[in-house]
Amino acid sequence: MVRRTFFDRFGQYNTCLLPDEVLSNDSLTDPDTGEELPSLRDQISLVNGIYHHMLCYARVLRTCGDGLYWADVAATSGFVNAHRVILTEEDLYFALPYDVRMQGKSPAQILKMMAAHAREVRPAQRVEPAITLELAPAPVLPLEPLAVVEVSSDELQEAIGPVTMDNLTDTNNLRVSRPISSFRMQQAFLRVILDALMRQLYWTEWAQESARISTARTQCATIAYLQRWQRQSRQRCVNAVPVWNGEQHAIVWQLTVGDPITTLAAA
């Protein structure tokens, strides 16, 4: 199946309805005070003291990477209290045009329409054969850091996804995991880094720190570009090192992402 992007499907009509589940519901934290803040979903859904749940409105502006889009998202069609976020192609499979066809329908009916539409437009997933898995990671390059984030082992495992288990018949059917390819690990690192930077972006927008908003948006767009570049080149651009986090009293993973092309040119 030929992959069709959001703009292929929608053209220039870029105002659409989405389920609000495309917005993160993870609580944010004030980096200065440690105070817990409402999630992005709650911040967007609250308009004039009233929560608008289940659906949200989006104006998709432009691409910012392979399968990634900048969009303004709000709880109402007037785009009051709109936030600029990054949506994925997967998020936008559920998008329906905001037009007369939506009038008179309940949120539950629209959600059913969105689910059916997503099933129709989502391309079939190709399963990579096991033979393509690499047995050893590519050599680590010295990187000029573009961003450094720390994530828990649980966050990293969630980004990597399920691990295939095999039976070894000559050892009493002992179940062991297949080696995870370097490509899969690098893509997981980039996803979790982008998620962490997006949370920082949500915070800076919520705090209205204009000087940091531009920097945060540039960082997100740069990592999104690297994610696409790595998918094509399969070259390592993230280093992962376990470090001790004194505040969490636990081992976390320090992920450093850099541009290996720039590094090699400077060498």
Does 229 lie in the same domain as 149? yes
d(CA 82, CA 58): 9
Q: In the predicted model, is pLDDT for residue 94 greater than 90?
A: yes
d(CA 253, CA 147): 14
Q: How far is CA 19 from CA 85, 112, 168, 228, 229, in A?
A: 15, 10, 44, 26, 30
Q: How many CB atoms lie within 10 A of CB 49?
A: 5
Q: Of 53, 86, 121, at which residue does a domain stop?
A: 121
Does 195 lie in the same domain as 113? no
Does 173 lie in the same domain as 98? no
Spatial neighbors of 32 by CB under 8 A, at least 6 apart, are none
Parent domain of 229: 134-266
Q: Please indicate, yes or no, if residue 255 is contained in any of the structural domains.
A: yes
Average pLDDT along the chain: 77
Does 117 lie in the same domain as 23? yes
Does 203 lie in the same domain as 148? yes
**Tens-place pLDDT, residues 178-219:** 556 778 888 888 888 888 888 888 777 777 777 778 888 888
**Encoding tokens for residue 128?**
């990579």
pTM (2 decimals)? 0.49
Which residue from 163, 84, 174 is spatially nearest to 130, judged by alpha carbons?
163
Q: Of 121, 143, 165, at which residue does a domain stop?
A: 121
Q: Please indicate, yes or no, if residue 126 is contained in any of the structural domains.
A: no
Q: Please indicate, yes or no, if residue 70 is contained in any of the structural domains.
A: yes
Domains held by the chain: number: 2
**Tens-place pLDDT, residues 50-66:** 888 889 999 998 888 77
Of 85 and 249, the structure prediction assigns the larger pLDDT to: 85
d(CA 4, CA 10): 10
Q: Please indicate, yes or no, if residue 183 is contained in any of the structural domains.
A: yes
Q: In the predicted model, is pLDDT for residue 125 greater than 70?
A: no
